[in-house]
Each structure stands twice: as structure tokens, then as C-alpha cells.
Structure 1
Amino acid sequence: MKNILVTRIDDRLIHGQVVTAWIKQYPINKILIIDDGLSRNKLMERIYKAAAPVGVEVMIMDQEHAKGFLKEAPLAKEHIMVLVKVPQVLERLLQSGVGFDKIILGGMGAKPGRKTFNKNVSANEDETECFRRIIDSGVEIYYQLVPSEKEVNIRKLLS
């Protein structure tokens, strides 16, 4: 299994907080964005790769390719941050045998069908139930916008 240091749900994917805070907090040298639609969009792929700091490789994969990649043996000094937009992607990876120590919930923006869940997180009923299933599987999910903020276990927010 690859060496995953940070697993984060954030619908903005690579943005200022990821680049300035998370990557500086952890020795991340690869960012894996898992998104089926984005994996087919070469223009957006170039934009995300350009947004990463020097020395950090950005890979964009669909769920099927990411599952295979994450199950491969780790390379020496390979430190990965996994970024997804919604929890269902991580639930599918967990079901396929990919493990995560914990999941950090960042931003999930408001859109039709979603209700405010916590600060800058909005979730619909399916996403909220997905959070519950992931937690029930043994993986904790913490809301944390930046590493300097205190983690908030979302288990408390779901009850």
C-alpha cells in the first residue's frame, strides 16, 4: 500500500490552504486527486499541476486507476496526499481494500440539495450517510480547515 500521509475531502482540491498549510505541515511530495470527470479534462489537469508547489508531483486519476495505484508498494521517500471532492470516493476505496488512518474534511460548498453541516461544509443526505458509514467502518473523520486548527471529530456533528 502506498504511503498516504493526508487524506482530505475538499471540493476545491488544490488551493491556497493546501499549498501553503498542508504541504508545509507534512513532507508531501505527491498529490493524488481522485475524480472521474477531472481525469478526462486535460486543460484542468494542466491547471492543477501548475498550482502545485515546485517539487510536488500532481497526479489525477479516476477511481479505478487510483484504487490500483494506491494498492501498489510504496516507493522510497514517496509521501502522498489524497484529495477528493466527496466522501463517496473514499468509501469506495475503503470497500476495495485501500486503507486510511483518518480523513480530514475541509470544504464542501453549498449547492442545491445540500444543507450546512459545519462552517464551510455543506452536505446532502447521501453524503451525510456516507460519513456515517465511513466512521462505522472504523475510520474517523475530522473537520480541520488548516493544520493549526484543532481537529473536530465529525462524529459529534452527526449525532
Structure 2
Amino acid sequence: MGIIAVRIDERLIHGQVANLWTTKLQASRIMVVDNEIIKNDIQKTALKLAKPAGVNLSVLGTKKSSANILAGKYESQRVFLVVKKPETLVEMIDNGVKFDVINVGNMSQKDNTQHLTQSINVTDEDYDAFQKILEAGAKITAQMVPNDDAKDFTGILKDYKK
């Protein structure tokens, strides 16, 4: 089976991911990919505490996660891949990983972001990364929780003013 879902959510593992998404997807593993968190033992410990019981957790950088995915290491598992930002997925695509559908959840507002939806705020770098993801052939949706309708993110992204 391998990767069953990919989500951009800067909160990583929290109530929606840990309870709603993981349960709905029947994920056996949550894979958090982030090049900064792999260097931070406190953040890794927090992720371990936040994961649901009975679900495995991998916290990896883009190179290691890409190599593991391409080697078929997770083919017997149901892996829910979660990243903070779209740039991480671009790095994985550059490493040879292919994604069919990517779900955008929460990207919070900051000084340099544009507000696109109630929960999605995008920087110029994010916008460029989303364009690269689309060029790589992935479909991008926006969906906060499993019971919400998935919206085509390309329509939402058209409102971005660069």
C-alpha cells in the first residue's frame, strides 16, 4: 500500500491529524518529514507523545524519507505523510518521489502571508512551491477535516496576488 495520504499542516500531529485523519485513513504509520525537526529532540519527543496509540511514527528529513519511499520500505504499511510546508514536498519530488494528491490543511497567518481561506495563508515561496507541485502532476486539494468536501486548491490559489 505505502503512502495513502499526504497533508500539508504546519501543526503536524494534533487533534485533527491524530484522531480524525489517522482514523479515517486507517493509517498504520504517520510519517512527519521536516529537515529542522529531525535536529530537535524536544520536538521529536512531542510528536511521539501526540501520535495515536497503535500507530507507528517516523520523523525524517527529505533525503531519508525519499530514499525509504523509493526503496519500497513502507509498501506493507498504510502511511500518512505530513509536512509543515509545500517546499518540503518539492524537495521530495526533486528526489524522485511522486505524489498523486496532496491535501492542504492549516497554514497559519504570518506577517508575510496572504490569506486564501479561513485556515490557509500563503507566502510567495509557498505559492512557487505549489506551482512546482502542480507542474509535477500532483492534484492539490484543501480540506480541513475528513467530513469536509475536498476543494480543488488550484481555484483557491488563483486568488493569490504575487
Q: Report if TM-score (shorter chain) is over 0.5.
A: yes
Corresponding residue number in structure 2 for 1:39: 38
Runs of 4+ in 1 over 4 A off after TM superposition: none
Aligned length, in residue pairs: 158
The answer (yes or no) to whether the contact 1:110–1:116 under 8 Å persists in 2 is: yes
1:74-103 CA-partner distances (Å, limit 9, x unpaired): 456411111111101101111221111200
Displacement of 1:133 in angstroms is 2.0
The answer (yes or no) to whether the contact 1:87–1:130 under 8 Å persists in 2 is: yes
The answer (yes or no) to whether the contact 2:66–2:95 under 8 Å persists in 1 is: yes
The answer (yes or no) to whether the contact 2:100–2:137 under 8 Å persists in 1 is: no
Displacement of 1:154 in angstroms is 0.9
The answer (yes or no) to whether the contact 2:142–2:152 under 8 Å persists in 1 is: yes
Tell me how far apart the structure 2 counterparts of residues 153 and 76 of structure 1 sit (CA, whole Å): 28
Which runs of no fewer than 5 residues in structure 2 stay unpaired? none
Corresponding residue number in structure 1 for 2:80: 81
The answer (yes or no) to whether the contact 1:49–1:57 under 8 Å persists in 2 is: no
What code does the residue aligned with 1:73 have?
G
Corresponding residue number in structure 2 for 1:19: 18
Tell me how far apart the structure 2 counterparts of residues 10 and 76 of structure 1 sit (CA, whole Å): 24
Which runs of no fewer than 5 residues in structure 1 stay unpaired? none
Displacement of 1:38 in angstroms is 0.6
Tell me how far apart the structure 1 counterparts of residues 61 and 25 of structure 2 sit (CA, whole Å): 25
1:4 aligns with 2:3: yes
TM-score by length of structure 2 reads 0.92
Identity %: 25
Displacement of 1:141 in angstroms is 0.5
Corresponding residue number in structure 2 for 1:130: 129
Tell me how far apart the structure 2 counterparts of residues 76 and 8 of structure 1 sit (CA, whole Å): 19
- Are the structure 2 counterparts of residues 76 and 87 from structure 1 closer, same or farther at C-alpha, using a change threshold of 3 Å? closer
Displacement of 1:152 in angstroms is 0.6
Corresponding residue number in structure 1 for 2:98: 99
TM-score by length of structure 1 reads 0.93
Displacement of 1:136 in angstroms is 2.2
Displacement of 1:9 in angstroms is 0.2
Tell me how far apart the structure 1 counterparts of residues 119 and 127 of structure 2 sit (CA, whole Å): 15
What code does the residue aligned with 2:52 have?
P
What code does the residue aligned with 2:134 have?
I
1:130-155 CA-partner distances (Å, limit 9, x unpaired): 11221122101100001110001111
Identify which range, 92-101 or 144-153, moves more after superposition.
92-101
Corresponding residue number in structure 2 for 1:144: 143
